[in-house]
Each structure stands twice: as structure tokens, then as C-alpha cells.
């Protein structure tokens, strides 16, 4: 389910999305598509494109939230003829509770393609790859069709729209691991090797795919780019309800009446998302806590149910915006069971490269199983606290997988301490269902 306001100009990402029949090139152009690309190739320099995207305050929509134009500016300034470069769309989207990019690639793949062409011009890349989650079979099929349509219409290939600019684009299905969503592991997977993260620096913008400059951005991020170039910086900044630019694809999964994806101004309050868009909690259920941005963010309690969903405010409350798709914990569900489910996922999805992640996460899962099934001891709670303290901080593991995995555990130990202690004291399994991580309409 998706939500689009009556004025499509204020909800640009979903304005042309049609999951039953996505627009072809002609329909996309009638809806304003390729206006941004035409403006770019009609006379803008690559540096001017980078500057405009930077001033628009578009931040990465995959979770990190880094300024997109600033990221592009780190790429060496050589032209296409001087050095080969790559643009990569990260569509791995295996974060539990997150399903926004699937909607975009299934419902309007040309929007993503246009954004990638503009980005390629901005950094003078010659080749692009859409790295798509392997289970997105319909999205893969529609992306391939859209690439062929764009090529036939002259938007891909050589001398695009008569300009001295060439760009080729392919669609690559992922091998099916969560770690591929980490940009350097994604690059390693594209090279045909095991998807292990790489040390940084050097960053991919300098040395990425096959050692060449590479920009990796999320699908939602690229999908914003055509609208910025078509409508201007002031228009884009005006869409937002906070200091950063644009709209955001927010989402709800769990015991809401209308779980789904909704396009709203960046900085919208959680209460608007939950009550007005998702219809509130289902009858007989109350909100107890939620993960504001997917499974690798920290729990926030019900007292934060109206928090501003921008990049800064959730951090002040002890969590992150992440992907912007909230997972709800209701008052009938077991928080320990929910955390156990999450840690099982993260443990099995570790690439196994570093010890805290490879050995620490399965150990955390084992302790949670003991507590959840009524065999836990007070020492087990203390051990979980030690694991959260030792594994959680950034910089102690090779990439951000382990810190993200520990976020729901560390916050859950604080927020649901009485639940942990009660299970240990009672010595019997927890009551209440464990909420499904991807429960949505």
C-alpha cells in the first residue's frame, strides 16, 4: 500500500509509480520524465550538476544519510576519455522491515535509470550497474525492460541526446546476502568474489569497482535526482519539513491497520505516519515500542510515538532514522522473542570476516534462546550486556554489520529490562507472539 497526496508535485517519487503497469518511456515523458536529464545535457557542466545536488541537501536514503552531492564531489575530476568510472545503484534491500526500493523498481524503473544517467554525467562515469536483491524477480524483469526501452529511445548508449556523453547500464541480481548491502562488500561481490567488506580508506569514490572510481547510492537516492534537476533547488528544499531536502519514503510494518510505504515530507512526525497514514494500531493492540528505521536501529519507546523522523532527532533520542521504515512492537508481543528473531537474522548474515561478528552474534543468539525458552540465568543477562558493550561500538569490527545487529539488543536490554528479569525469575518460556519482521500489506 502506498500513500500519495493529491498534488503529485509534492510527492514526486510515487507520482508515476504504478505497480500493476509501470510507465513506458512515452508515459514517463508525459509525466515529466527526462526533463532533468535534458536540462543537464543541454548545457550544464558536471561540476554544476554536483553542486546543485549538494545544495539541494539530498542525503543518502539507504541508511547512512550522507550528503549525496558531497559524496559525488570526492570522485577524481577526469573526463570519460581520461579515466573509466562506475555508478552503482544499491538495491540489495535485505534490511528486515524495509521494502521501499522494491516499490520504486517495480512501479517506475525509468525514474531510477534517469537518476543514474544524471549521476553518471556528474562524475563522468561510463558504466553503471543496478545491483538488485535476487528475490526481486518482478523488479528485475521490469528493470531489464526499462533499460532496453531507454536505450532504444536514445537515453542510453553513445552520444546521449546528441551530447558528447556515453553511458551503458546493466542490471545485476544479487547473490542473496545481507552483507551485500554494505557498499564495499557489494563492490567485491560485483567483482565475482566473496562479499567481504573492504578497509576504508581508500573509499570507493577513489578506488572502487576493479580499483576504479565508483559511486554507490541507494535506489531511493538516485530516484530523487531527476526531480532536483528538473525543478530546482528551492523547489526541492521546499518539499521538506526539516533542514534537509526532499520527501522520504517512510513505512510501517507490524500491527498497524494499514502497513505499507508512504511518501511524506522529510521530517514528518511519527504520529502522522502511524495515525494518519497507517490508520493507527489494530483494534486490541497498543504500541509499546518501535524500531524507527529497520531492524538495525535501536528501539524507541511509545513515549517517542510522535518523534520527528529526520536524520538528527532520532539520534538525539538514541536511535537512527535508518531506512525510515518503522517496525512496531505491540503490547501483546514478546520483546525478547522479537530481539531473538532479529539476532538470528544478523548472526546468519554475517560474512564471517571478523571475530566479534562471526562468533559474537551466534553467542548472543544462543543466550537469547536460553532466556526466551525459560532456561536463562541472571548471568546470561550480564553476558548480553557485555556483548552489547564490546561488540556494539563502531570501529571494533570490520564494517557496520555488528554495530547494527547490536542496536536492537542494547536498546532492548534497557527498555525491556523487567521482561528479561521476569523470564529468568519465572524459568518458563516467554508468552506472546514474536512479531514478523516484514509484516505488511
Question: Is residue 431 domain-resident?
Answer: no
- Of the residues 267, 297, 328, the one at which a domain ends: 328
Structurally, the chain folds into a number of domains equal to 3
Question: Is residue 317 domain-resident?
Answer: yes
Q: Is 252 left (phi over 0), alpha (psi -120 to 50) or beta?
A: beta
pLDDT single digits (tens) 404-441: 999 999 999 999 999 999 999 998 787 765 554 434 33
Question: Is residue 440 domain-resident?
Answer: no
Question: Are 298 and 339 members of one domain?
Answer: no
Question: Are 256 and 359 members of one domain?
Answer: no
Extract the C-alpha cell encoding 417: 529490562
Question: Are 261 and 346 members of one domain?
Answer: no
- Whose CA is closest to 118, among 235, 214, 36? 36
Extract the C-alpha cell encoding 274: 502511524
Report the Cα 5 to chain-centroid distance in Å.
23
Question: Is residue 435 domain-resident?
Answer: no
CATH number of the domain enclosing 102: 3.40.50.11540
pLDDT single digits (tens) 107-120: 999 999 999 999 99
Question: Are 262 and 203 members of one domain?
Answer: no
CATH number of the domain enclosing 308: 3.10.20.600
pLDDT by position in tens, the chain (length 441): 444 444 556 799 999 999 999 999 999 999 999 999 999 999 999 999 999 999 999 999 988 889 999 999 999 999 888 899 999 999 999 999 999 999 999 999 999 999 999 999 999 999 999 999 999 999 999 999 999 999 999 999 999 999 999 999 999 999 778 999 999 999 999 999 999 999 888 999 999 999 999 999 999 999 999 999 999 999 999 999 999 999 999 999 999 999 999 999 999 999 999 999 999 999 999 999 999 999 999 999 999 999 999 999 999 999 999 999 999 999 999 999 999 999 999 999 998 888 889 999 999 999 999 999 999 999 999 999 999 999 888 777 888 899 999 999 999 999 999 999 999 999 878 776 555 443 433
User: How far is residue 377's CA from residue 388's CA, in Å, rounded to a whole number?
Assistant: 17
- Of the residues 215, 238, 261, the one at which a domain ends: 238
Question: Are 94 and 21 members of one domain?
Answer: yes
CATH number of the domain enclosing 412: 1.20.1440.230
Range of the domain at 293: 248-328
Question: Are 214 and 72 members of one domain?
Answer: yes
Question: Are 17 and 164 members of one domain?
Answer: yes
Residue 19 β-bridge partners:
none
Question: Helix, strand, or coil here: 218?
Answer: strand
Question: Are 219 and 273 members of one domain?
Answer: no
Question: Is residue 441 domain-resident?
Answer: no
- Of the residues 203, 238, 273, the one at which a domain ends: 238
Question: Are 187 and 312 members of one domain?
Answer: no
Question: Are 253 and 357 members of one domain?
Answer: no
Using CB atoms within 10 Å of the CB of residue 166, give its burial: 0 to 12 exposed, 13 to 18 middle, 19+ buried: middle
pLDDT at residue 199 in the model: 86
For every residue of 352-389, DSSP letters joined together read S-SHHHHTHHHHHHHHHHHHHTT---HHHHHHHHHHHH
Question: Are 197 and 318 members of one domain?
Answer: no
- Break the chain down into helix, strand, coil percent, rounded to 5: 45, 15, 40
Question: Helix, strand, or coil here: 290?
Answer: strand
- Whose CA is closest to 209, among 329, 312, 311, 85? 85
Amino acid at each position: 500500500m502506498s500513500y500519495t497526496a493529491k498534488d503529485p508535485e509534492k510527492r514526486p517519487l510515487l507520482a508515476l509509480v504504478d505497480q500493476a503497469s509501470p510507465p513506458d518511456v512515452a508515459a514517463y515523458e508525459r509525466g515529466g520524465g527526462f526533463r532533468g536529464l535534458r536540462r543537464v545535457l543541454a548545457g550544464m557542466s558536471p561540476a554544476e550538476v554536483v553542486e546543485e545536488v549538494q545544495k539541494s541537501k539530498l542525503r543518502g536514503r539507504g541508511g547512512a544519510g550522507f550528503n549525496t552531492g558531497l559524496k559525488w564531489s570526492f570522485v577524481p575530476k577526469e573526463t570519460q576519455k581520461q579515466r573509466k568510472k562506475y555508478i552503482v545503484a544499491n538495491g540489495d534491500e535485505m534490511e528486515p522491515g524495509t521494502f521501499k526500493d522494491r516499490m520504486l523498481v517495480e512501479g517506475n524503473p525509468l525514474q531510477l535509470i534517469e537518476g543514474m544517467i544524471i549521476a553518471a554525467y556528474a562524475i563522468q562515469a561510463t558504466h553503471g550497474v543496478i545491483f538488485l536483491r535476487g528475490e526481486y524477480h518482478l523488479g528485475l524483469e521490469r528493470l531489464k525492460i526499462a533499460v532496453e526501452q531507454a536505450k532504444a529511445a536514445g537515453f542510453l548508449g553513445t552520444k546521449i541526446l546528441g551530447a558528447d556523453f556515453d553511458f551503458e547500464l546493466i542490471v545485476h541480481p544479487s547473490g542473496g546476502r545481507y552483507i551485500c548491502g554494505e557498499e564495499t562488500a557489494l563492490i567485491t561481490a560485483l567483482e565475482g568474489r566473496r562479499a567481504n567488506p573492504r578497509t576504508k580508506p581508500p573509499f570507493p569514490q577513489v578506488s572502487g569497482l576493479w580499483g576504479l572510481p565508483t559511486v554507490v547510492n541507494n535506489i531511493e537516492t538516485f530516484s530523487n535526482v531527476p526531480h532536483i534537476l528538473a525543478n530546482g533547488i528551492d523547489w526541492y528544499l521546499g518539499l521538506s519539513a526539516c533542514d534537509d531536502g526532499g520527501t522520504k519514503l517512510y513505512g510501517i510494518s507490524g500491527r498497524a491497520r494499514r502497513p505499507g510505504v508512504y511518501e511524506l515530507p522529510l521530517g514528518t512526525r511519527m504520529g502522522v505516519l502511524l495515525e494518519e497514514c497507517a490508520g493507527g494500531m489494530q483494534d486490541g493492540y497498543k504500541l509499546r515500542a518501535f524500531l524507527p528505521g529497520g531492524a538495525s536501529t535501536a528501539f524507541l519507546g511509545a513515549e517517542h510515538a510522535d518523534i520527528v523522523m529526520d536524520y538528527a532527532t532520532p539520534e538525539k533520542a538514541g536511535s537512527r532514522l535508518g531506512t525510515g521504515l518503522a517496525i512496531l512492537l505491540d503490547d501483546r508481543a514478546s520483546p525478547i522473542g522479537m530481539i531473538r528473531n532479529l539476532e538470528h537474522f544478523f548472526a546468519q548474515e554475517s560474512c564471517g570476516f571478523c571475530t566479534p561478528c562471526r562468533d559474537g552474534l551466534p553467542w548472543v543468539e544462543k543466550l537469547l534462546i536460553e532466556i526466551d525458552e525459560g532456561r536463562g540465568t541472571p548471568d546470561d543477562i550480564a553476558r548480553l550486556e557485555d556483548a552489547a558493550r564490546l561488540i556494539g561500538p563502531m570501529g571494533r569490527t570490520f564494517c557496520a554489520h555488528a554495530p547494527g545487529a547490536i542496536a536492537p539488543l542494547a536498546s532492548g536490554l534497557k527498555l525491556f529490562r523487567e521482561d528479561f528479569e521476569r523470564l529468568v525469575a519465572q524459568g518458563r518460556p516467554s508468552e506472546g507472539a514474536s512479531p514478523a519482521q516484514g509484516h505488511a500489506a
